[in-house]
Structures are given as C-alpha cells and as structure tokens.
C-alpha cells in the first residue's frame, strides 16, 4: 500500500494536470518507500531535486491555463504556488546544508500539502476550466 494513494476524487478533470499530480504523488511515495527500506536520506536529495524542478513545470502548466481562460482566482492561486516553491527550495537548501537530515519531516509536509492543495485549491479551478472546454 502506498503512503499516499491516488484517488479519483483528486482529479481536476484535466488529463495533463492529473498526470502531473500523480507524478508528484509518485515522488512522495518514492521517498516513503526509501525511508521504509532505511535509505530515505540517500533518496531525499534526488526527490527534492525532482520536486523543485517538477513544481516549476507543474505550476507553470496550471498558471498558463488559468491566465489563458481568465480564472478569477488566479492571483490567489499563484501566491500559494509561489509560497510552496519558496518552501520547497528552503527545504532543499536546509537538506544540502545538513540542517535537515530526517526525511520524515519533509515527507509529512509534502503529504499534508499535496492533499490539501489538490483537494482544496485545485478542485476550485477544475470545474471553471472544464466549463471552458479544458479536459
């Protein structure tokens, strides 16, 4: 059983974004599986690098669609993205400098954030974009 199970309830109804969300969930599960195998610290660096890069790509995808279709809550959503991007970079820098050595802290943060963001904030733009024909 995965640490974070993807459910259809998480879908925003846009295939590309759902696939990106599944990839983010995959990074989290990869880290968790490594921790269970006693190799979490070894995997954390690669997962954090992937997460830093992938969040840029994913957020750009969401934000470009929101701008294109004039999503009314674009600015607030972008601010949440910006805040997370800064936080992920901060986690990566703390890990690189040795201030964080335990992947549990990062794993729990990511699980909490992903669940809340996908089920909360992202669920708000899904119907709006779907109504514009975005699938």
Average pLDDT taken over every residue of the chain: 90
Asked if 129 and 22 touch (Cβ cutoff 8 Å), the reply is no
The domains of the chain are located at 21-131
pTM: 0.89
Higher pLDDT, 18 or 87: 18
Asked if 55 and 84 touch (Cβ cutoff 8 Å), the reply is yes
Question: What is the Cα–Cα distance from 130 to 135, expressed in whole angstroms?
Answer: 6
Token pair recorded at residue 81: 């993205």
**pLDDT of the residue at 91:** 86
**pLDDT of the residue at 75:** 97
- Token pair 């640490």 in the structure block, residue: 3
pLDDT digit string (tens) for 73-92?
999 999 999 998 898 888 88
pLDDT digit string (tens) for 109-118?
888 988 888 9
**pLDDT of the residue at 51:** 83
Is the pLDDT reported for residue 104 higher than 90? no
User: Worst-scoring range by mean pLDDT, 4-8, 47-51, 117-121?
Assistant: 47-51
Q: Is 70 exposed, middle or buried (0-12, 13-18, 19+ CB in 10 A)?
A: exposed
pLDDT digit string (tens) for 20-55?
999 989 988 988 898 888 887 778 888 888 888 888
Portion of the chain with pLDDT greater than 70, in percent:
100
Q: Which of these CATH numbers, 1.20.120.50, 3.10.580.10, 3.40.120.10, 3.30.1330.10, describes 21-131? A: 1.20.120.50
Question: What is the Cα–Cα distance from 12 to 123, expressed in whole angstroms?
Answer: 6
Mean pLDDT of 121-128: 94
- Token pair 């954390």 in the structure block, residue: 44
Backbone dihedral angles phi then psi of residue 76, each to the nearest 5 degrees: -65, -40
Question: What is the Cα–Cα distance from 102 to 31, expressed in whole angstroms?
Answer: 11
């Amino acid at each position: 059983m995965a640490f974070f199970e993807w459910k259809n309830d998480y879908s925003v109804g846009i295939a590309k974004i759902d696939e990106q969300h599944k990839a983010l969930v995959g990074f989290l599960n990869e880290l968790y599986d490594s921790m269970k195998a006693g190799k979490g610290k070894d995997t954390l660096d690669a997962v954090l690098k992937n997460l830093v890069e992938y969040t840029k790509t994913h957020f750009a995808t969401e934000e470009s669609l929101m701008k294109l279709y004039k999503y009314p809550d674009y600015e607030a959503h972008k601010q949440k993205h910006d805040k997370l991007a800064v936080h992920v970079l901060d986690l990566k820098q703390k890990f690189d400098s040795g201030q964080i050595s335990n992947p549990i802290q990062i794993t729990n943060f990511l699980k909490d954030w992903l669940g809340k963001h996908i089920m909360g904030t992202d669920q708000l733009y899904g119907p709006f974009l779907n109504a514009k024909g975005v699938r």
